[in-house]
Amino acid sequence: MADGLQQLGIPATPERTEDIGGAVPTPVLTSRASLSDAAERIRPRNRTINRPMMREALKLADIAVAAIVSFLFLNAGGYSLLQSSVAAVLPFVFIPVVMSWGLRRADAYNLSFARPVSQMLLRSSIGSGLALAGLVVVVSLLYPARHTSIVLGAACLAFTFAVAVHAHVIVLFKVLTRNGVLSENVVLVGATPNARRLLQRNSESRELNIVGVFDDRLSRAPIAMGGVPVVGRLDDLMNWDRLPDIDRIIVTVTSDARVRVRQLVDRLRVLPQRVVLLLDLEGFDPESESLARIARSPAAYMSGAPDNLRRVVIKRAADILFGSLLLVLFSPILLATAIAVKLDSPGPVFFRQKRHGFNNQIIRVWKFRSMRHDPEAENRMGQQTVHRDPRVTRVGKFIRMTSIDELPQLLNVLSGEMSLVGPRPHAIGMTTEDAEVQGLVSDYAHRHRVKPGITGWAQINGSRGPVHSREEVRERVRLDMEYVNRASFWFDLFIMLATAPCLLGDWRRQR
């Protein structure tokens, strides 16, 4: 945290001034806004479409289009990718490589709302055009005229398609940004000049959807800043029912107040959201720097870890692939279990309980019903399962021992609410020793920084089922946090492969 503090260089205290102006008209507020006003500014999440994903998709599209064009011209010129010499094929192979390099060097993938469309298209044209022109020149010096003319045709068509693809993506990016689809929901802690600078830059770039400002010193804070209401104190934020819809918390208290910064960060660390200490925005150039990138700077992170797009994409792809295969593989067992549950006791086949998911969001988790039907249990857990629990049905006892009751959660995985591997989602109101488990361990909320899973590191290490003591809660959270810190595709694969043997060796454990 000291490194982050040293990078702050804005010596000032909150000003008692009226709201600043900006690119977005500032509404006239005559009284302090409420949390409901901030809630109205929250935009629905769309995790499928975001800025990093659009950039990576554009890079792949450029390479794919150039590769297809090169392949078509290669065959049209009478050459074969497999049968022709390496020297004959090499210029066509270099077309997508060189074009992608040129676009990167021209910064054509830096999509910015503040940058004009013409300027972004110019970067795309110069980057791809100069790179491909250089390749054609080299080919003309080393190859005969006929070969050069074919490469020139491929380069011209690849250039045309690249500019066309970039034009469509840029327009789409502008529309999605204007509609707020690409913006994270963010709250600021600290009504400071540092916050004012961030709000002013954001009014131009629209990279963040800042829904509200929180400050314990409300008597000094203005009613609004840059059109964003100052809505309450830190306690109001901590107890806000819409907090699960917030993606990031940015602390904007200045470096002069180091003790206050540490106190704020210590309180905010218990939340699953990523907490960022805002860096100094002096010298910020919106033409060359991304505001969202500054807000995501690893040096500024006080809680959580920077996003890893590759990890997210690989994990989601693995969930869809393996989840679909497992759903097909276990379909006979799912059908047989559904019939058995229905015949065993009155009530629905499935039990959909409210549980805490990613970022503390509330999700409905699918399970086969293994207890006597209790509609109230779907919303809140009143009592954990105990040995020889009279609520458990005959079929329920078997499917709980074998964990067959968890198989319908494959539907949660395919819908994106859960993952195959991750910390198990706990029910709302789950208690141990007459206290809610989330209050027993300070790091409890950190397990919600990743999607919950059907199985996890804690489960294959013996921490499965109910937790009846504080020590069991601490051990589960310790194992969950160990998974969060070590998470990778290969670690997930190991946990999936180890799940069945671990469950078979522990099948008598009471769940």
412-471 per-position pLDDT tens digit: 999 888 999 998 887 776 666 555 666 555 566 667 778 899 998 988 888 776 676 778
Predicted pLDDT of residue 132: 95
With 0-12 / 13-18 / 19 or more C-beta atoms within 10 angstroms meaning exposed / middle / buried, residue 166 is buried
Tokens of 445: 């909320």
Give residue 47's pLDDT band: very low, low, confident or very high (50, 70, 90).
Answer: low
**Nearest CA among 46, 45, 51, 48 for reference residue 313:** 48
Spatial distance between the Cα atoms of 437 and 306, rounded to a whole number of angstroms: 27
Phi, psi of 426, rounded to the nearest 5 degrees: -90, 150
Considering the chain, what is the average pLDDT of its residues?
Answer: 79
Predicted pLDDT of residue 353: 84
Q: What is the pLDDT of residues 97-109, one digit of tens each?
A: 999 999 999 999 9
Spatial distance between the Cα atoms of 12 and 194, rounded to a whole number of angstroms: 9
Higher pLDDT, 305 or 220: 220
94, pLDDT greater than 90: yes
Predicted pLDDT of residue 507: 55
The CA radius of gyration of the chain, in Å to the nearest whole number, is 28
**Domains with residue ranges and CATH for the chain:** 2-43+183-305 (3.40.50.720), 51-178 (no CATH), 310-504 (no CATH)
**Nearest CA among 242, 234, 238 for reference residue 264:** 234
Q: Sheet holding 301-303: strands in order across?
A: 224-225, 228-232, 208-214, 184-189, 248-251, 274-277, 301-303
- β-partners of residue 351 are 367
